[in-house]
Amino acid sequence: MNFILNNQGNEAFHQPDHQPDIAIVGMSCRFPGAENIDDFWKNLCNGVESISFFSESELDFIDPDLWKHPNYVKAGGVLSQIDKFDADFFGYSAKEAGIIDPQQRIFLECAWEALENAGYNPENHQQDLVGVYAGSSLSTYLINNVCPSQGFSPAKPYLSHRLFRAANDLHLEQGNGADHLPMRVSYKLGLTGPSVSVQATCATSLVSVHLACQSLYCGECDVALAGGVSIFVPHRVGYLYREGMILSPDGHCRAFDADAQGTVFGNGAGVVVLKLLNKAIADNDRIYAVIKGSAVNNDGTHKMSYTAPSIQGQVAVISEALAVAQIDANTISYVETHGTGTALGDPIEITALTQAFHQSTYQPITKNGFCAIGSVKTNIGHLDDAAGIAGLIKTILALKNGAIPPSLNFKRPNPNIDFANSPFYVNTELIEWKKNDLPRRAGVSSFGMGGTNCHVVLEEAPQTSETNFTERHAHLLTLSAKTEAALKDLVEKYVDYLEVV
């Protein structure tokens, strides 16, 4: 391990031995207002806030004394059709599927879609070890839709009793236990690499990416799926606002703004497909972006309370990720923050980022306001265990498209944040991501309640030689699907896509 000194003779940052770069070669997502990565990018560029506000009729299954309370906020980030699942496609009976948490169902679909997006068919690459690293939130489906002692289902009031009678304890545990999320994917898709459940609260999905990279570094797998999912049922439900807690009083997240009073929760799932960069280039893979380095730590006891963030912990993890990446902080031009819009969290995050940047340079930082920041939570809410993967996918798309989308609901800076003397500014409009002699670079942070912190350093994909097809007047497009209806749907999706591009 080497130590770099700045021009004042002080230790600037330690530089671990170089680790191989990781290529992101496939992605898939289901986020509020977006069924896929193309929809998600359009919403980000257009500044869409995909938070739903519920009518009283949509909340009629909740105790009226609760939703009529003046502090009850009828808002949340919801997904469409969480009750839908192509059970036959994955070889499940309807009865089996009914016992499985929607988190596992939708994550399985996203894993399939991510591999498909990467152009990877496990049946044709059986010699490759494919790992799965992922985590999910608490199974509220088990509590509210399966267990008859506590459960309810507003659409099907007898569903919980019927499901419970149809299942045994083992099936219930497999269908709703977080441990089984990655292993279900490995089993159904025929993947033989490590299959590991990750649980780190809000940092879960980004920690999953970090662990997948470590697995690739040491040769435990050749390809890795990484991500997370968080889906709560009942789905279209609000929350009771309590002053001083983390939730917003009006259903809007105003990260880093003077009027920020908290966040709003959302639901979603995201998966990325990872390979060593040199292997991805050799295999002519489409590369979205490159992971240069990542780090994970925990705050320990050096903070106000178990749930509070820590400046020291965040400084350490960001500095370590930059050191692993062997990247000078001066060359980072965007950071996707944790950005919850809380009175305590936002100032701590910017203070920590500023300290980490100043100590992670070859030369002292002499200018301020050169690095844009944003928070996807202002668009889709806080996705709990899937929050980190949402921020990562947003940043990957920004690198790929050479544009930084706006962070929403920002008017005046939080007076407790010293932006004027920091490298950062909140980006509030869609801008071209300009670059000079160096490639575009970014950081992504995710901080878990309980103190686990994760930071990932990204770089835009390298320029690779591509076959020139411009001389051909026609191209053969082959499509495949399991049913005629699915094939028709696929054709329509391609028509829509080709009309846009």
Point out the residues that are catalytic: 202, 338, 382
Q: Closest Cα partner for 50 from 317, 383, 499?
A: 383
Cross-sheet strand order for the sheet of 22-30:
195-197, 130-136, 223-230, 268-276, 22-30, 289-298, 452-460, 441-447, 334-336, 371-374, 424-426
C-alpha span between 474 and 316 (Å, rounded): 54
Is the CB of residue 358 less than 8 Å from the CB of residue 326? no
- Using DSSP, state whether 76 is helix, strand or coil: strand
Using alpha carbons, list the distances in angstroms from residue 38 to 355, 486, 501.
35, 19, 11
Dihedral (Cα; 139, 145, 146, 151), 10-degree rounding? 100
Dihedral sign for Cα 269, 116, 49, 56, please. Answer: negative
Quickly tell me which residue has 């305590």 as its tokens.
344
C-alpha span between 77 and 71 (Å, rounded): 18
- Using DSSP, state whether 372 is helix, strand or coil: strand
A 10 A CB-CB count for 476 gives: 5
Dihedral (Cα; 13, 14, 19, 25), 10-degree rounding? -20
Helix (H) or strand (E) run with residue 29 in it: strand 22-30
Q: Cis omega (within 30 of 0) on the bond before 234? A: yes
Joined tokens for residue 67: 């939703």
AA letter at 375: S
Using alpha carbons, list the distances in angstroms from residue 497 to 114, 290, 396, 500.
17, 25, 20, 5
